Amino acid sequence: MGSVFVDRSKDCGFCKKRSRANNCICDKIEDLVGEIVTIRTRSGNDFVDVEIKAFDPKTCCVTLLQDGMITPMRMPSEVTHICCEDIESITRELMKRKLRY
């Protein structure tokens, strides 16, 4: 599992702009760094079983890692960077970790 330093004294630029700091998905993203999740974007794309590797609250950038596949053909791992503004929902299994929700 990856770890990242998150400066909680800095608000996410998206949250600050929208004045939603208390309800923002960014608060959840910070808590889920290192977890395997499914992310749905506003455009309808699904990132299934990706690890949230990092979150930068200054730029609202979320870094996702999706492991590669070996069969039926070898596919490399992929890194995706996405703005928290583009995330519609995050889903994870409750049994993996006790986390406040």
pTM to 2 decimal places = 0.69
91-98-18 Cα angle (round to 5): 50
Q: What is the pLDDT of residues 73-99, one digit of tens each?
A: 777 888 999 998 889 999 988 765 555
Per-residue pLDDT for the chain (101 aa), expressed as one digit of tens each? 343 444 444 556 656 555 444 456 877 888 899 999 999 999 999 999 999 999 988 888 999 999 877 667 777 888 999 998 889 999 988 765 555 55
Domains of the chain, each with CATH number or no CATH: 13-92 (2.30.30.100)
- Whose CA is closest to 54, among 75, 79, 76, 78? 79
